[in-house]
Amino acid sequence: MSGLSLCSWNANGLLSKIFEFNLFVEKYDPDILLIQETHLRPTHNTNIKNYTCYRNDRIVNGPATGGTLIFIQNSIPHVNPPTPTFHHIEATTVTITPPNANPVSITSIYVPPRSDNRLFTLDLETILQINSNCVIFGDFNATHSAWNCSHNSTRGTQLKTFTDATNLGIAFPASHTRYGYNSANTLDFALISNFNFPYTIESISELSSDHNPVMLSFNLNSSIHKNNSRAITTCWSAFKIHLKNHFHLSDYANINNPTMLENKIAKFTDAVSSAHSHASEPITATRHIYTPQHIKQIITLKNRARKLYQRTLNPTHKTETNRLQAILKREIKIHKQNTWATKLASLEPQDNSLWQMQKHLRKKRSNIPNLTSPSGIASTDEQKANLIANTFIDNYTENKRPGNFTTNIDSDVTNTIRNFFATPPPTPTPPTNPVEISDYV
């Protein structure tokens, strides 16, 4: 398999457009078709010759809406993993299993307009956990200038933040994919994770829907090598030793013609590259996708214990909730420390990341506004510092007793307490006719 072509289309009802859709498939012959808003019920049958169909229908009362579907050519080896439980999106996934290559998950995704603008990324995390190599392709209903939209929506900003944090690539066409009344936007695009192959993506002005079909084609003959200098760390002492053992200056003497010079330069370059590769190793990426899986599991257990306590008022569940809360705080603290340590270890001067970090840390913080006191207004740093110092002195200085007190207050308080305990008050006499509780029952 030298190439892989994916076509995504928000059909807005597939059955009414099945004839033109079949003609489109015959014309372009994509390997995988990803359909959103199929508007199918479980009783509806949809088949295309030489394709296998996988789908997830939206089960609702009333007219059929939503739904996602994938057609994949029978010649492509693949499996259909179980569909996880989603709360904010709809999706269907197949995992292609090409020979002599890593499996790749292909997901047809639809984010309904009414879904939560921020929490939908939790479902994206679930999709990413199916397979580290994946393509999430479909209608996100999210606008952002990063993928050729005219404005940034809340969902688009949240999605852009998520893709930056998880190092996802965004593949979008040059022209818009959705056309409405006096409006045009790019809502159909793909998120790519660890699938480093050259690709082309195009919005095709065909088929009768407010969304154009979008064709995404990968060239699998050559992969893209992402040269990320922050992905490795080098032991320069090992580099020096290795280069010393494989590079001898005497071998570069008596160079008397251009051909010999070129050969020696190539040999020197190979020696340096070999030494660098020998002394370098990848930085272990401990950064998790937003929330690490073990922390998500602790949160689930804590919420379960809290709900049990609220329902039963059993103190055992309350104790378990507090225990899990303490574990959760500790694990989040460890996770933040590890993330920060990994970020610091990945900084390099070559790619300007070290400069960006120190530039951020050196930013001036906002100035303290003028402070008002009974003595006046403190505007300079020295005046503010003196005012704050005097305030602390006044608040934490022991109050002095007035000078007109001639007796020892401490001894008076001590004597009063001793007299009270020496002569306790008499025990109250119970009533002659005690009231029985049964009288009021």
Residue 44's φ and ψ, nearest 5 degrees, are: -80, 140
Task: Provide the token pair at 326.
Answer: 């303490």
Nearest Cα residue to 328 out of 310, 304, 311, 308: 304
How much is the pLDDT for 390?
86
Question: Along the 441 residues of the chain, how does pLDDT read in single tens digits?
Answer: 678 999 999 999 999 999 999 999 999 999 999 999 999 999 998 889 999 999 999 988 888 899 999 999 999 999 999 999 999 999 999 999 988 778 999 999 999 999 999 999 999 999 998 888 999 999 999 999 899 898 899 999 999 999 988 889 999 999 999 988 778 899 999 999 988 888 999 999 999 899 999 999 998 876 665 544 445 678 888 888 888 888 888 888 888 888 888 888 888 888 888 888 888 876 654 444 567 788 888 988 998 888 888 888 888 989 999 999 999 999 989 988 888 888 888 777 766 677 777 766 666 655 667 888 777 788 888 888 888 888 888 888 776 666 665 557 778 888 888 888 887 767 665 555 544 444 443
Residue whose tokens read 């929506």: 153
Question: 94-103, long-range: CB within 8 Å, 24+ apart, which pairs?
Answer: 94/32, 94/54, 94/70, 95/130, 95/131, 96/4, 96/32, 96/72, 98/1, 101/220, 102/133, 103/131, 103/133
Distance between CA 423 and CA 332 in Å, rounded? Answer: 59
CA angle 411, 415, 420 (to 5 degrees): 150
* Spatial contact of 216 and 5, defined as CB atoms under 8 Å apart: yes
Task: Provide the token pair at 426.
Answer: 């008499």
Q: Concatenate the DSSP letters of all residues of 68-90 into one string.
A: EEEEEETTS-EE-PPPPP-SS-E
- Rounded to two decimals, the pTM is 0.54
Strand 68-73 and strand 78-79: pairing? unpaired
Structural Rg of the chain based on CA atoms: 35
Non-local CB neighbours of 85 within 8 Å, separated by 6+ positions = none
How much is the pLDDT for 62?
85
